[in-house]
Amino acid sequence: MDKASAQIRAELTQLSDQFRHRHPWLVKYQSWLGAGVMMMAISVMAITSYAYIELQLPAVIAVIIIAWATSFIHELEHDLIHYAYFKKQPVLHHLMMLLCWLMRPGTVNPWIRRRLHLLHHKVSGSKQDIEERGITNGMKWSPLRLLMLMDGTLALILNHKVKHLPYTLLKGFVAYLPIGILYFVCWYSYLAFHISSFLELNIMWPELLTQNIDALNTLAVLLIWPFFLRSFCLNFVSSNMHYYGDVEEKNIVQQTQVWTSKWLLPLHLFCFNFASTHGIHHFVVRDPFYIRQSISKDAHKIMKKHGVRFNDFSTFKRANRFKKEVTV
């Protein structure tokens, strides 16, 4: 690790230790706090779903509320990947992992994602970083990249050479099996049915689909569209706050930047301020999301002092390269 990264890690760890010392209950009850946040998020989703089904809430508002609630669940899954909750109680640990997947069904199997994410920490910014490359990190900006940010399946297909496509699709199928596969069957059935109806195409749809289209429409509002909104916001900020291609190995200062601009608030609303706090996580992996958020103001001062970039939006024209003189 380079000197600047090591110094930032030391100072952020000290900052975290001080915060933990002032609030020892956060450490003592860390696992149950995580479980409490999980129950809060699921409760918000359930109450919102009931209000929508009972015609007490417009579809747009329901989508926004549920997408916001699932942003907490993403943070919980990320912490679980690093064994932040119930590490010594495997039944509860894996139950939380499963609930994270069920509430965000379009994601990769979280046990498989654990391997991808831990690899991300080891090789961030390189071709081996499958997690970030999978959400378009390092690609030239184009309408195609924007489309790939919106749909994980398209990203999986379009991000690989044709000769490798069968193997890629097989790996993708296994990674999403079974919950993610059910999600994408529902998603593409919903899209195909409504696009064909809008275009007035005469298609003989299976009876199973036509008889259950009302239920599918409800599922779209309560699960599919919220997932679409949340994942797009997360993928957009994550794929652009990480640098790619010309970073030094294990140089964390070069791996990520920090986004704090107020213009990002609409995106941060649905990914729990991810681009503002995720850089902290690369330096101090152990902290759960609420500690990162709590110390972020002071952490940002430390990171900026030692050269971490803030609000480097020129990365869009460099395809996420770190060096500012690079053109891609």
Contact (Cβ atoms closer than 8 angstroms) between residue 11 and residue 279: no
Q: At what angle do helices 90-103 and 30-53 cross, to 10 degrees?
A: 30
- Name residue, tokens 């690369």: 282
| Res 1: pLDDT | 78
Contact (Cβ atoms closer than 8 angstroms) between residue 291 and residue 211: no
Token duo for residue 77: 């899954």
CA atoms within 13 A on the CB side of 192: 13
Phi, psi of 256 (to 5 degrees): -140, 160
- Name residue, tokens 């919903």: 190
| Res 174: pLDDT | 86
CA 128, 246, 316, 243 torsion-angle sign:
positive
The pLDDT profile of the chain, 328 residues, written as one tens digit per residue, is 789 999 999 999 999 999 999 999 999 999 999 999 999 999 999 999 999 999 999 999 999 999 999 999 999 999 999 999 999 999 999 999 999 999 999 999 999 999 999 999 999 999 999 899 889 999 999 888 888 888 877 766 766 655 566 766 677 788 898 999 999 999 999 999 999 999 999 999 999 999 999 999 999 999 999 999 999 999 999 999 999 999 999 999 999 999 999 999 999 999 999 999 999 999 999 999 999 999 999 999 999 999 999 999 999 999 999 998 766 6
Token duo for residue 319: 């395809």
How far CA 35 is from CA of 19, 48, 179, 246, 265, in Å, comes to 21, 20, 22, 39, 26
Task: Give pTM, 2 decimals.
Answer: 0.94
Residue ranges per structural domain of the chain? 3-316
| Res 171: pLDDT | 76
User: CA 318, CA 144: separation in Å to the nearest integer?
Assistant: 16
Q: Is 236 helix (H, G, I), strand (E, B) or coil?
A: helix
- Closest residue by Cα to residue 112 from 171, 70, 166: 171
